[in-house]
């Protein structure tokens, strides 16, 4: 009897996940957050200010969803406990799917589903499908997913794939056979593309100018009100999205101005998680709600204390290594919180203190080094700084730095010029 159920089970799986899911790479945590942006925009509590009950439901469900996603990213995590969630989703033009209530007069509908997935990609797809949101943008996160999903499979011929019409109906992608331009389309060059899209780009730019001016005004007002050094965004969110984030911060400033002014002199960065960065920037997670932001600003004095301890630790390492300066280069190093970076420095310093390296005091003054946790051998970057792994053998470190010191100085001079 079970043999007859297998085709039905396979059919159900195909209806839940697109075909390209089985050939796509796993999503990282940052990519999962990026892929869920339409969902966050539809359920964010800030849009339910006049509906306190729905706002509270969404806040609690977002907390549980955040915990579920974090557990999925932990190494060694097995099957997670099924997590039922309820969200009030702002109404869109897309039709409601089964299991969802129709939109009410307030412009939102209730969506209930239970998470029981085992990886980030299937979780993201399940959430978006449950809320009747498009999954088309997820395909761009996986290279060669749509046109050639089976190319890397062993023993499979390298030829175009003929997909069933149900695949295009489910995913929303265009069927080339139904596209009249498919047969007359010519090869696109940079010049032809610019000619075809130049006027469109100019029109979009003109239409966005009022919103761009509004963004600049909000940024200047909040920078002056909170006495911030700068306001930045870690990702390339749209202008409307950025204005919405600044409006949200402005409302919080009206309620807790004294608390937020503890960030005076700092650079504020809208990013994927809240905290303080390795270089001392205040990070506001765009997924978090006002309560989380307020807690972060209240903890800033303790973050400033940790920042001072981190700088002392960098000076201690510099003294042990002949005066070489320990730096953190945002463009070249992974995004670390101040806690993660302090732990990295502390581990490296402890190894140096256990086995003292006989460097002449200040012999390496003027040179720079960065610490990394994902490299096994020390290296010299083309810009002149040393890239040193945390677990590097002290003896190997001494030999490498002394042998490359002159080349490093020349590279630094070349960079300055």
pTM as predicted = 0.54
Boundary of a domain, candidates 250, 271, 300: 300
* Pick from 57-66, 150-159, 217-226, 307-316: least confident: 150-159
Mean pLDDT, the chain, rounded, equals 80
263 and 348 assigned to the same domain? no
Rounded to 5 degrees, what are φ and ψ at 33? -60, -40
pLDDT: which is higher, 376 or 13: 376
116 and 212 assigned to the same domain? no
Question: Rounded to a whole number, what is the distance in angstroms from the first to the last CA of the chain?
Answer: 77
Boundary of a domain, candidates 252, 273, 300: 300
397 and 330 assigned to the same domain? yes
Residue 136 has pLDDT above 90, yes or no: no
358 and 280 assigned to the same domain? no
Residue 169 lies in a domain: no
* CB half-sphere exposure, 1, CA atoms < 13 A: 0
The answer to whether 85 touches 64, Cβ cutoff 8 Å, is yes
270 and 318 assigned to the same domain? no
Boundary of a domain, candidates 281, 300, 319: 300
* CB half-sphere exposure, 179, CA atoms < 13 A: 10
Q: In which band, very low, low, confident or very high, does the pLDDT at 264 lie, cut at 50, 70 and 90?
A: very high
For 327, the domain range is 304-416
Q: Which ranges in 227-275 belong to alpha helices (H)?
A: 239-255, 257-260
The answer to whether 339 touches 306, Cβ cutoff 8 Å, is yes
pLDDT at res. 235: 78
36 and 117 assigned to the same domain? yes
315 and 412 assigned to the same domain? yes
Q: Which ranges in 233-367 belong to alpha helices (H)?
A: 239-255, 257-260, 290-298, 300-320, 338-354
User: How far is 417 from 138, CA to CA, in rounded Å?
Assistant: 43
User: How far is 402 from 394, CA to CA, in rounded Å?
Assistant: 12
323 and 347 assigned to the same domain? yes
Q: 267 in helix, strand or coil?
A: strand
pLDDT 10s digits, 84-103: 999 999 875 543 444 444 45
If you average pLDDT over each of 22-31, 118-127, 151-160, 256-265, which comes out highest? 256-265
User: How far is 327 from 372, CA to CA, in rounded Å?
Assistant: 11
Residue 73 lies in a domain: yes
The answer to whether 144 touches 24, Cβ cutoff 8 Å, is no
Residue 282 lies in a domain: yes
283 and 349 assigned to the same domain? no
313 and 288 assigned to the same domain? no
Residue 77 has pLDDT above 90, yes or no: no
130 and 45 assigned to the same domain? yes
Residue 161 lies in a domain: no
Residue 332 lies in a domain: yes
Residue 390 lies in a domain: yes
Residue 145 lies in a domain: no
pLDDT 10s digits, 279-310: 999 999 888 778 889 999 999 999 999 999 99
User: How far is 11 from 291, CA to CA, in rounded Å?
Assistant: 43
Could you tell me how many residues make up the chain? 417
Beta-sheet pairing, 386-389 with 368-372? parallel
pLDDT at res. 172: 62
Number of domains in the chain: 3
Residue 66 lies in a domain: yes
The answer to whether 110 touches 158, Cβ cutoff 8 Å, is no
386 and 308 assigned to the same domain? yes
């Amino acid at each position: 009897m079970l043999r007859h159920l297998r085709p039905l089970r396979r059919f159900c799986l195909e209806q839940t996940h697109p075909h390209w899911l089985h050939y796509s790479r796993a999503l990282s945590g940052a990519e999962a957050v990026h892929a869920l942006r339409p969902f966050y925009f539809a359920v964010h509590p800030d849009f339910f200010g006049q509906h306190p009950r729905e706002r509270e439901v969404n806040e609690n469900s977002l907390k549980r969803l955040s915990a579920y996603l974090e557990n999925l990213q932990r190494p060694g995590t097995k099957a997670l406990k099924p997590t039922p969630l309820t969200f009030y989703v702002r109404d869109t033009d897309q039709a409601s799917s089964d299991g969802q209530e129709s939109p009410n007069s307030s412009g939102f509908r209730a969506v209930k589903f239970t998470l029981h997935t085992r990886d980030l990609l299937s979780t993201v797809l399940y959430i978006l499908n449950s809320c009747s949101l498009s999954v088309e943008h997820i395909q761009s996160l996986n290279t060669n997913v749509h046109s050639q999903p089976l190319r890397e499979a062993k023993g499979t011929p390298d030829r175009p794939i003929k997909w069933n019409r149900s695949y295009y109906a489910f995913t929303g992608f265009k069927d080339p056979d139904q596209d009249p331009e498919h047969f007359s389309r010519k090869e696109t060059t940079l010049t032809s593309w610019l000619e075809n899209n130049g006027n469109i780009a100019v029109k979009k730019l003109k239409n966005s100018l009022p919103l761009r001016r509004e963004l600049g005004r909000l940024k200047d007002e909040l920078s002056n009100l909170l006495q911030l050094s700068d306001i930045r965004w870690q990702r390339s969110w749209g202008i409307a999205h950025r204005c919405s984030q600044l409006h949200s911060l402005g409302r919080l400033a009206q309620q807790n101005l004294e608390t937020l002014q503890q960030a005076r002199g700092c650079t504020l960065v809208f990013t994927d998680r809240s905290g303080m960065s390795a270089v001392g920037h205040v990070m506001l997670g765009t997924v978090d709600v006002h309560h989380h932001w307020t807690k972060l600003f209240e903890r800033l004095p303790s973050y400033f204390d940790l920042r001072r301890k981190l700088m002392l630790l960098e000076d201690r390492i510099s003294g042990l290594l002949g005066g070489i300066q320990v730096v953190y280069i945002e463009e070249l190093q992974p995004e670390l919180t101040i806690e993660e970076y302090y732990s990295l420095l502390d581990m490296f310093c402890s190894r140096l203190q256990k086995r003292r390296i006989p460097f002449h005091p200040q012999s390496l003054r003027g040179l720079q080094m960065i610490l990394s946790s994902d490299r096994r051998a020390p290296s010299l970057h083309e810009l002149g700084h040393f890239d040193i792994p945390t677990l590097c053998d002290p003896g190997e470190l001494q030999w490498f730095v002394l042998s490359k010191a002159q080349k490093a100085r020349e590279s630094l001079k070349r960079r300055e010029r």
